């Protein structure tokens, strides 16, 4: 697979650029939506959720921003990636190329968008007075872990969605439910001794790691993060295997 990707690297590059440009094509604000969208979501949650919790962490808006941006990265990859094979049915029927380029392009283009939006978090950290610590050097490790996990998932879902079209809707419903099972608007500490249930969700470890590094300025739970990374790599190999097995029928099914 790596050999094929290298041979078609120019196609991969152009497809990633197309995904980035296509997301904001025709919109007035263009790439600025990478900043505006999470800010609008944060504003809504920052106004509404404190009334539900009655209390919240200090600098609650910054706290939410650090959770919302990585979550948007994750959900956008999953929703777009699950549909990417069907969405490119026309070219799949006409031209041969390594089909894994499509989900990889979705994951990578959204990674770029996420990196573009990171200055939002940095601005909030500065103006809230939280600032930065040496632990920010661990941030790329968390981002890479999330990227591998997201890519692994869409390699599986994009391939299966070709044969079971309902999967796209099931995935969207599951993501909506997962949002409330991930400590984005609240802290895991609210669950006390039952917080381990949340940790069954790998995004809990990832979101908590972002918060540890950027909000609390402490070293994240490296053991938990390494476990998620290991499971993500294992899932990636499983995803590649499933994708390669199912891609033989893509042209006929799409």
Model confidence at 54: pLDDT above 80: no
Model confidence at 64: pLDDT above 80: yes
What digits encode the pLDDT tens for the residues 14-34?
Answer: 888 887 776 666 555 555 666
**pTM for this prediction:** 0.89
Kindly give, in sequence order, each residue whose CB lies less than 8 Å from that of residue 177, ignoring residues fewer than 6 positions away: none
Read off the pLDDT of each residue in 106-121 and give the average, rounded to a whole number.
90
Query: What is residue 186's predicted lDDT score, i.e. its pLDDT?
Result: 83
Kindly give, in sequence order, each residue whose CB lies less than 8 Å from that of residue 14, ignoring residues fewer than 6 positions away: none
| Token pair belonging to 104 | 């990889």
Query: What is residue 232's predicted lDDT score, i.e. its pLDDT?
Result: 97
Handedness of CA 48, 49, 53, 56 (dihedral sign): negative
What digits encode the pLDDT tens for the residues 164-189?
Answer: 988 888 998 999 899 888 998 888 87
How far is Cα 64 from Cα 167, in angstroms, rounded to an integer? 30
Residue indicated by tokens 């079209």: 165
Query: What is residue 95's predicted lDDT score, i.e. its pLDDT?
Result: 82
How far is Cα 236 from Cα 230, in angstroms, rounded to an integer? 10
What digits encode the pLDDT tens for the residues 70-106?
Answer: 999 999 999 999 999 998 888 888 888 888 999 999 9
Under 8 Å between Cβ of 34 and 117: yes
Length of the chain: 254
What digits encode the pLDDT tens for the residues 117-167?
Answer: 898 899 989 988 999 999 999 999 999 999 999 999 999 999 999 999 888
Query: What is residue 193's predicted lDDT score, i.e. its pLDDT?
Result: 72
Query: What is residue 190's predicted lDDT score, i.e. its pLDDT?
Result: 75
């Amino acid at each position: 697979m790596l050999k094929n990707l290298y041979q078609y690297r120019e196609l991969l590059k152009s497809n990633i650029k197309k995904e980035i440009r296509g997301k904001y094509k025709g919109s007035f604000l263009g790439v600025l939506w990478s900043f505006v969208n999470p800010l609008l979501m944060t504003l809504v949650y920052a106004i509404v959720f404190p009334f539900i919790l009655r209390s919240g962490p200090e600098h609650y808006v910054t706290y939410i921003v650090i959770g919302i941006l990585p979550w948007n990265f994750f959900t956008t990859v999953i929703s777009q990636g699950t549909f990417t094979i069907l969405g490119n049915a026309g070219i799949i029927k006409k031209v041969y190329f390594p089909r894994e380029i499509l989900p990889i392009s979705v994951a990578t283009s959204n990674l770029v968008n996420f990196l573009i939006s990171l200055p939002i978090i940095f601005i909030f950290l500065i103006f809230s007075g939280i600032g930065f610590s040496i632990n920010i050097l661990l941030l790329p490790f968390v981002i890479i872990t999330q990227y591998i996990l997201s890519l692994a998932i869409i390699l599986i879902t994009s391939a299966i969605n070709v044969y079971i079209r309902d999967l796209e809707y099931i995935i969207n419903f599951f993501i909506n439910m997962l949002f409330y099972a991930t400590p984005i608007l609240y802290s895991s500490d609210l669950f006390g001794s039952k917080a381990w249930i949340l940790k069954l969700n790998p995004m809990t470890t990832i979101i908590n790691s972002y918060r540890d590094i950027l909000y609390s300025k402490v070293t994240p739970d490296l053991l938990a993060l390494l476990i998620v990374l290991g499971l993500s790599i294992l899932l990636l190999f499983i995803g590649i295997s499933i994708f390669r097995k199912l891609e033989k029928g893509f042209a006929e099914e799409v």
